[in-house]
Structure 1
Amino acid sequence: MLKTKNLPQCPVETTLMLIGDKWKVLILRDLASGTKRFGELKKSLGNISQKVLTTQLRDMEKNGLIYRTVYAEVPPRVEYTLTKTGISLKPILEAMKTWGEAYQMKLSQ
Structure 2
Amino acid sequence: MKAAAITRFDARLSAEMKDLFEQAAELGGYKTLSEFVIYSAKLQAEKIIDKHNEILASKKDQEIFFNAIMDSSEPNSKLKKAANRYKKLTRSNELSDSSVR
- TM-score above 0.5: no
Of structures 1 and 2, the one with the larger relative CO (CA 8 A, separation 6+) is 1
The answer to which structure has the higher helix fraction is 2
TM-score normalised according to structure 1 size? 0.26
The answer to which structure has the higher strand fraction is 1
| Greater Rg over alpha carbons, structure | 2
